Amino acid sequence: MDAFPPPCPPMTALSFEFYPPKTDEQRAQLDRTAEKLKGYGPEYVSCTFGAGGSTLSYTSETVRHLNQQHGFSAAPHLSCVGGSREEIRELLKLYRAIGCKRIVALRGDLPSGMGHPGDLRYASELIAFIRAEHGDTFHIEVGAYPETHPQSDDALSDLKYFKAKVDAGADGAITQYFYNPDAYFHFVDAARKLGVGIPIVPGIMPISNYSQLKRFSEACGAEIPRWIAKRMQAYGDDVDSIREFGADVVANLCERLIAGGAPSLHFYTLNLAKPTQAVLSRLGR
């Protein structure tokens, strides 16, 4: 027997998030990525959804494709903002008909310029709606924000609204990505103190492109620690060094999360296999 267990035990469950491709080139890329990530035996994969209906059918088509072509158990993301109860009802019927067992239920964000907020204001209302219409048919995942949702006035009310999603019927949560594990551990502790018992799975964003990461992080309120930002800036156009450093940082984050009790890891793949594989190989997978 090894003196030290491998850093990421083989039993640590994984899930991978994809976005729905819109062009033939993107579709081919998703297929290549799905083939490469299949071997890790993910518990499920998920497919994002564009609020306001722009990628409405892309999501369901992609979910169907991931199930049928790649044999995954694919979970659609479903956001309520900008949608009517009737539109959401139809989508739920479709997802049930194509055999989806899990849904990632979100409020979503309206694209700028889109006026109507929709019939359901918050994710908690969407979850209550799904439960009312379909009982326990779907396993419902929700979003969680260890560094606080960017539109939230304060961390405590954000936590209270997170608990409201659990009280409405969420089975599990996936966090926004972060690079400071303490933010996750504090969030989980605070949620447990409020009586939240569901698994809270850290969302992991591999690092491969600094300017893209900076843009995403500004939009979603994720903090890039100064020491990481400074190192990335120093690498400039040296893409290989950014990738190596990024994979080391994220693998170390994952090790600490697993050691601290994270139930599984959810990777934001951005439809690329390599950055996720670079992290997983450092974890002994």
Task: Tell me the C-alpha distance between 13 and 263, whole Å.
Answer: 7
Amino acid, single-letter form, for residue 38: K
Question: What is the separation, in whole angstroms, between the first and last Cα of the chain?
Answer: 18
* Selected binder of ligand FAD within 109, 119, 167, 255 (CB under 6 A): 109
Task: Specify the stretch interacting with ligand FAD by CB under 6 A; choose among 20-28, 121-129, 224-232, 251-259.
Answer: 121-129
Q: Tokens for 201?
A: 């799975």
Cβ atoms within 10 Å, residue 148 = 18
b/e per residue 236-252 (b: at least 16 CB within 10 A): eeeeeebbebbbebbbb
Q: Is 147 a catalytic residue?
A: no
Q: Does 76 bind ligand FAD (CB under 6 A)?
A: no
d(CA 188, CA 186): 5
Q: Which is nearer to ligand FAD, 63 or 242 (CB)?
A: 63
Q: Would you count residue 49 as binding ligand FAD (CB under 6 A)? A: yes
CA dist., res. 95 & res. 67, Å (int): 12
Shortest distance, position 215 Cβ to ligand FAD, whole Å: 15
Binders of ligand FAD in range 164-203 (CB under 6 A):
165, 174, 176, 203
Shortest gap between Cβ of 5 and ligand FAD (angstroms)?
28
Give the angle subtended at the CA of 177 by the CAs of 172 and 181, to the nearest 5°: 90
CA dihedral 250, 256, 261, 262 (to 10 degrees): -10
As measured in angstroms, the least distance from the Cβ of 234 to ligand FAD is 30
Query: Could you tell me how many residues of this chain bind ligand FAD (CB under 6 A)?
Result: 23
Q: Which stretch binds ligand FAD (CB under 6 A): 7-15, 118-126, 130-138, 243-251?
A: 118-126
Alpha-carbon gap, residue 170 to 186, rounded angstroms: 20
Strand partners, 77: 104
Shortest distance (Å) from residue 258 CB to ligand FAD: 19
For the bound state, the minimum distance from the C-beta of residue 267 to ligand FAD, rounded and expressed in Å, comes to: 11
Structure tokens that stand for 16 in this block: 């991978």
122 binds ligand FAD (CB under 6 A): yes
Q: Which of 17, 125, 141, 147 is catalytic?
A: 17
Report, as residue numbers or ranges, the catalytic residues.
Answer: 17
User: Which residues here bind ligand FAD, judged by CB under 6 A?
Assistant: 48-49, 51, 77, 79, 104, 106-109, 122-124, 143, 149, 151-152, 158, 161, 165, 174, 176, 203
